[in-house]
């Protein structure tokens, strides 16, 4: 469309259509269903923009038999509204699998089934009045008229651009793949991938390796990281190579001394309860940091105990094979897995192959974090299970004229969300001892490796490096309400009346569950109710 034409006006526009905004759409469908026939539907004029061509959830980690780490009851709606038509149980009933699911005796569905549930829910909300434009990436926002934000998007297939106007903007950007600094300059290499694209990329990478390596030569792959994704990828690679004709070595490179189990005990899991969000929001900043440190082992750089058991069993069986080989017994497996703990990836260089056109290898310079000893390893491919960064929403604001209402612009190095002090009660400086949480030392804001995935990306920000984004000396604090509304600076409160909401990136203000699935339904209800509030 021409930018001179009058843009279509929407009650709300959501950027991204992953689980967070899908939960918002489900809550809107419920509101519309409650509206009487004579009253207008509250969310009849709503649009979601998603850069993917169809609904996707963690396509790169849909590995065979991988299970969810949370109960199916923590779906899009149950904790907010068990009678919702978009619950996991409603999905099972619609697929005639309710009793078979009960008979399997587990509250945890496979990742494949939960992904199918989300796809089903996506279609359900669209069939019930929610508009979703797939294949559109958001390229900018601006304020043209008081009370409205213009959203500019572009078709990923044709390049056609659109401008639409809204009173309410919901940013659910997901995460951007995070690479170790030594590897970040090599991301264009076809044989370097992030766990978020593993399942959809690994076949092509292995074909590339086999095509550029002479028969009988050992192929080597590095998996970087010590969390759930890295562990699952290590197991998957082992299964792929165990009975194959070629020999592979797979190294797990990580800084810790050992892989650590996630704490999913009942009391620890209460940190993900919706009620805990109220506690976290009302804590002082220092107390909130203490709690984040205390519960770090529930979600960050940890592995489900069942996965750890499988990994250790695999390593043990490998040792058995090696012992048998010393006595002359043949070894059937063609893969050798090696753990490299206490290893920091200091430098990575690309080493050209002798074969014309073949992808270069990676030369790792590894530094032992205990004694600073240096070692060198060469790999044909690298997979990084190193989590996500969640700053694209702030870059989208900073590189627009909307950012000035929040005190940020293109020169802002990083932002930190803090609870709005105007909304806090007299317990806003709650002592950490009164919450039931244990206190610990201070911790920097971590990057989640939980159930979340990149969706609609914000405008690029080439001037912001990773080191700048993490620099505490250049951090601008933005206030956010309990109901996830980003609040303008006081001097701009009257000049800027549109509502901007954030989802999945509010951990510094709302707590550790914000980038995960646990509170999707409850959070969506709060946002939808706040949109309706004048």
Residue range 241-258: mean pLDDT, rounded? 93
- Residue 346, Cβ density class (10 Å: 0-12 exposed, 13-18 middle, ≥19 buried): middle
Q: What's the CATH code, domain 184-260+301-384?
A: 3.50.50.60
User: Could you report the per-residue pLDDT of 66-109, keeping only the tens digit for each?
Assistant: 999 999 999 999 999 999 999 999 999 999 999 999 999 999 99
**Percentages helix, strand, coil for the chain, rounded to the nearest 5?**
35, 20, 45
d(Cα 57, Cα 19) in Å, to the nearest integer? 8
Helix axis angle, 198-212 to 228-241, nearest 10°: 40
390 touches 457 (CB < 8 A): no
Query: What band does 39 get if pLDDT is binned at 50, 70 and 90?
Result: low
Which of 234, 366, 250, 237 is CA-nearest to residue 303?
234
- The pLDDT, as a whole number, for residue 427 is 33
Q: pLDDT at residue 19 above 50?
A: yes
Cβ contact 55:139 at 8 Å: no
Please report the pLDDT score of residue 431 as a whole number: 38
Closest CA to 67 of 112, 30, 100, 120: 112
CA distance 19 to 31: 18
Q: Is-contact 250 338, C-beta < 8 A?
A: yes
Grade residue 469 by pLDDT with cuts at 50, 70 and 90.
very low
The whole-number pLDDT of residue 435 equals 43
Which pLDDT band holds residue 125 (cuts at 50, 70, 90)? very high
Q: What are 6-15's pLDDT values in tens digits?
A: 899 999 999 9
Which 3 state secondary structure label does DSSP give 362? strand
The angle formed by the CA atoms of residues 429, 479 and 417, to the nearest 5 degrees, is 85
pLDDT of residue 31: 92
DSSP codes of every residue in 231-243? HHHHHHHHHHHTT
Alpha-carbon distances, residue 126 vs 39, 47, 164, 524 (angstroms): 21, 10, 19, 17
- Do residues 171 and 527 make contact, with C-beta atoms less than 8 angstroms apart? no
Main-chain dihedrals φ then ψ at residue 501, nearest 5 degrees: -115, 145
The pLDDT, as a whole number, for residue 36 is: 58
Chain centre distance of CA 242? 31
Q: Count of H helices and E strands in the chain?
A: 14, 22
Q: Please report the pLDDT score of residue 277 as a whole number.
A: 96
Stretch 39-57: mean pLDDT, rounded? 88
Rounded to an integer, the average pLDDT of 274-282 is: 96
Q: How far apart are the first and last CA of the chain?
A: 32
- Give the model confidence (pLDDT) of 144-182 as tens digits: 888 999 999 999 999 999 999 999 999 998 889 999 999
Give the three-class secondary structure for 455: coil
CATH architecture classification, 8-177+390-532 = 3-Layer(bba) Sandwich (3.50)
Q: In whole angstroms, what separates CA 360 from the centre of its chain? A: 30
The C-alpha angle with vertex 425 and arms to 419 and 428, in degrees rounded to 5, equals 55
Separation between Cα atoms, residue 343 and residue 275, nearest integer Å: 39
Report pLDDT for 245.
Answer: 86
3-state secondary structure 462-506: CCCCHHHHCCHHHEEEEEECCCCEECCCHHHCCCCCCEEEECCCC
d(CA 389, CA 62): 21
How far apart CA 173 and CA 175 sit, in angstroms, is: 6
Helix (H, G, I), strand (E, B) or coil at 43: coil
CA distance 481 to 521: 18
> Which residues on neighbouring strands pair with residue 141, listed in sequence order?
151
Q: What is the mean pLDDT of residues 335-346?
A: 97
Closest CA to 9 of 129, 130, 170, 165: 165
pLDDT at 391: 87
Whole-angstrom distance, CA of residue 472 vs CA of residue 92: 47
What confidence tier does 187 reach under pLDDT thresholds 50, 70, 90? very high
pLDDT tens profile 383-435: 999 999 988 999 999 999 999 999 999 999 889 999 997 655 433 333 333 34
> Each residue of 496-531: pLDDT tens digit?
999 999 999 999 999 999 999 999 999 999 999 999
Band (37; pLDDT cuts 50, 70, 90): low
Mean predicted lDDT score pLDDT of the chain? 88
User: Can you give the pLDDT at residue 358?
Assistant: 86
Distance between CA atoms of residues 287 and 147, nearest Å: 36
Burial of 158 (0-12, 13-18, 19+ CB in 10 A): exposed
Bigger pLDDT: 340 vs 1: 340
DSSP lists the bridge partners of residue 502 as 171
Q: For 200-222, how does the pLDDT look when each residue is reduced to its tens digit (9 = 90+)?
A: 999 999 999 988 888 889 999 99
- pLDDT-derived band at 437, boundaries 50, 70, 90: very low
Numbered ranges of CATH 3.50.50.60 in the chain: 8-177+390-532, 184-260+301-384
Query: Does residue 468 carry a pLDDT above 50?
Result: no
Per cent of the chain over pLDDT 90 is 78
Residues of the chain with pLDDT > 70: what percent? 88
B/e letters for 50-80, b = 16+ CB within 10 Å, e = fewer, are bbbeebbbbebbbbeebbbbbebebbbbbbb
pLDDT at position 434, please? 39
The span from the CA of 21 to the CA of 172, in Å, is 6
pLDDT confidence tier of residue 119, bands split at 50, 70 and 90? very high
Most confident stretch, 326-335, 362-371, 386-395: 362-371
Distance from C-alpha of 34 to C-alpha of 83, rounded to nearest angstrom: 13
Whole-angstrom distance, CA of residue 70 vs CA of residue 87: 15
pLDDT of residue 38: 52
DSSP 138-150: EEEEE--STT-EE
Q: Which residues contact 107 (CB under 8 A, 6 or more apart)?
A: 71, 72, 73
DSSP assigned state of 67: B
> CB-based burial of residue 311 (10 Å sphere; 0-12 exposed, 13-18 middle, 19+ buried)?
buried
Helix (H, G, I), strand (E, B) or coil at 35: coil
- Rounded to 5°, the CA angle 433-434-438 comes to 35
The answer to whether 63 and 203 have CB atoms below 8 angstroms apart is no
Ramachandran class of 232: left when φ > 0, alpha when ψ lies in -120 to 50, beta otherwise: alpha
Cα 183 from Cα 192, distance rounded (Å): 9
């Amino acid at each position: 469309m021409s930018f001179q034409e009058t843009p279509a006006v929407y009650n709300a526009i959501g950027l991204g259509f992953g689980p967070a905004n899908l939960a918002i759409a489900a809550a809107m469908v419920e509101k519309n269903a409650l509206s009487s026939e004579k009253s207008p539907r509250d969310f009849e004029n709503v649009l979601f923009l998603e850069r993917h061509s169809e609904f996707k959830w963690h396509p790169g980690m849909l590995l065979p038999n991988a299970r969810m780490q949370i109960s199916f009851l923590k779906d899009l709606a149950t904790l907010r509204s068990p009678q919702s038509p978009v619950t996991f149980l409603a999905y099972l009933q619609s697929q005639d699998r309710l009793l078979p699911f009960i008979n399997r005796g587990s509250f945890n569905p496979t990742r494949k089934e939960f992904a199918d549930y989300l796809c089903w829910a996506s279609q359900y909300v669209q069939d019930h009045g929610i508009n979703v434009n797939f294949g559109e990436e958001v390229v900018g926002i601006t304020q043209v008229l008081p009370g409205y934000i213009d959203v500019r998007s572009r078709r990923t297939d044709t390049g056609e651009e659109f401008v639409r106007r809204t009173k309410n903007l919901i940013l659910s950007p997901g995460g951007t793949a995070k690479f170790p600094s030594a590897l970040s300059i090599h991301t264009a290499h076809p044989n370097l991938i992030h766990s978020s694209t593993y399942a959809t990329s690994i076949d092509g990478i292995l074909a590339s390796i086999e095509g550029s390596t002479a028969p009988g030569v050992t192929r080597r792959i590095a998996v970087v990281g010590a969390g759930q994704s890295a562990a699952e990828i290590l197991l998957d690679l082992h299964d792929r190579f165990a009975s194959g004709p070629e020999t592979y070595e797979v190294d797990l490179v990580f800084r810790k001394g050992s892989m650590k189990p996630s704490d999913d005990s009942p009391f620890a899991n209460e940190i993900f309860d919706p009620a805990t969000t109220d506690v976290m929001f009302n804590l002082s900043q220092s107390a909130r940091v203490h709690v984040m440190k205390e519960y770090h082992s529930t979600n960050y750089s940890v592995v489900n105990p069942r996965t750890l058991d499988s990994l250790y069993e695999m390593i043990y069986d490998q040792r058995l094979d090696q012992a048998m080989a010393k006595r002359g017994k043949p070894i059937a497996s063609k893969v050798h897995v090696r753990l490299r703990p206490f290893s920091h990836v200091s430098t990575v260089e690309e080493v050209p192959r002798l074969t014309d056109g073949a992808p270069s290898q990676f030369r790792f310079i590894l530094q032992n974090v205990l004694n600073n000893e240096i070692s060198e390893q060469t790999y044909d491919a690298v997979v990084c299970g190193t989590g996500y960064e969640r700053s694209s929403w702030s870059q989208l604001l900073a590189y627009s004229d909307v950012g000035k209402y929040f005190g940020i612009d293109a020169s802002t190095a990083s932002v930190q969300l803090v609870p709005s002090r105007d909304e806090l009660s007299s317990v806003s400086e709650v002592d950490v001892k009164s919450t039931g949480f244990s206190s610990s030392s201070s911790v920097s804001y971590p990057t989640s490796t939980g159930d979340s995935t990149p969706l609609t990306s914000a405008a690029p920000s080439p001037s912001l490096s990773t080191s700048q984004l993490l620099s505490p000396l250049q951090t601008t604090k933005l206030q956010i309400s309990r109901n996830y509304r980003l609040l303008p600076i006081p001097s701009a409160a009257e000049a800027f009346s549109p509502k901007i909401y954030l989802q999945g990136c509010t951990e510094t203000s709302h707590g550790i569950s914000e980038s995960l699935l646990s509170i999707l339904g409850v959070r969506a209800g709060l946002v939808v109710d706040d949109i309706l509030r004048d």
